[in-house]
Amino acid sequence: MNAETLKKTAQQMVASGKGILAADESSGTIEKRFTKINLPSTEDNRRAYREMIITTPGLGEHISGIILYDETIRQSAANGTPFVKILQSSGVLPGIKVDQGTKDMDGSPNEKVTKGLDGLPERLKEYAAMGAKFAKWRAVITIEGEALPTDANIRQNAKDLAAYAKMCQEADIVPMVEPEVLMDGSHTMERCREVSERTLTALFEELKNAGVLIEGTILKTNMVVPGKESGEKKTADEVAEATLGVFRKVLPDTLPGQTFLSGGQSELEATEHLNAMNKRGPFPWKLSFSYGRALQDSALKKWAGNPANVSAAQQILSHRAKMNGLATEGKYSSEMENE
């Protein structure tokens, strides 16, 4: 493990004015997105879509890294240039999703644990040779009434994230650890805050137990928001205060940064919430973004599988990246959306 390399990469990932683009949708997820634009999910369509994203002019100005899917890291642009090479030449770090999705937890069928630890060191070695500089592993935490999540589920997911993180660092790959407290449900914002705190407390305990270098690790977690079906409406300031309240209690000062997932928020909400937090900075750790839908949605709709729309779609993606880049510095305002 090269500690200095890991620290340097982690700092690059949360460089000022930049964040991570999550383009690591599994085959099943990308199929759902394509269905909405009436496009069959063929390998060629997926490749063309990812090429539209990866070849966006000036992408590296506000995007420090892109999380790729196994299929994507092996693909090339229409002109034969490997995607990884294109990213490297635009100063964007190639990343890779290494978890293999979720399964029901033994003894608690309404809760999930994540698959993918078997054979992970070998896969990481291969990805590192292909140019991957960081990896991502997602764990999902479900809130359901007072019963879920169980302590056992939180602890198992934290242990698995720590085991994954240690394996990554041994391969000189920076681990993004992603415990996502799901927005699905009718729970209050206060309940999300409590579960988020429990989850992150367990995570950092297990990372420490596993001997993971925190300075070479990036956190990717949720904002503290009410459940989608709760009927609760909260302002960006309320979301910022609740989220920062948890982070100030739990995040170690040595953590380089936290890159938020959008988790079902709209494009504008995700940007406004991030901005509201950074206006309250500085903090010991950078607060940035690692959005999928909240960066890609409008661009995907514009592209719609039509080569003639590539440039217009790229402009939309570039704009969203810029808005979120500004939000990482607390410099965003909604008026900028129309400029």
Which residues are known to be catalytic?
Answer: 178, 220
Give the number of C-alpha atoms closer than 13 A to the C-alpha of residue 137, restricted to the C-beta side.
27
Helix (H) or strand (E) holding 94: strand 93-97
Tokens in use for 151? 């302590």
Q: How many degrees, rounded to 5, is the angle at CA 36 between CA 336 and CA 24?
A: 70
> What is the distance between the terminal CA atoms of the chain, rounded to a whole angstrom?
46
List, as one string, the DSSP characters of 26-70.
Answer: -HHHHHHHHHHTT----HHHHHHHHHHHHT-TTGGGTEEEEEE-H
Q: Residue 58's beta-bridge partner residues?
A: none
Residue count (the chain): 339
Alpha-helical (H) ranges within the chain are: 3-13, 27-36, 43-54, 70-73, 83-89, 120-130, 151-170, 189-209, 236-250, 267-278, 293-303, 310-327
Q: What's the rounded Cα separation, in Å, for the pair 333 and 324?
A: 10
CA separation for the pair 328, 230 (Å, rounded): 28
User: 177, exposed or middle or buried, with CB in 10 Å at 0-12, 13-18, 19+?
Assistant: buried
Which of 181, 180, 175, 182 lies closest to 207, judged by CA? 175
**Is the C-alpha dihedral spanning 53, 59, 62, 68 positive or negative?**
positive
**DSSP symbol at 82:** B
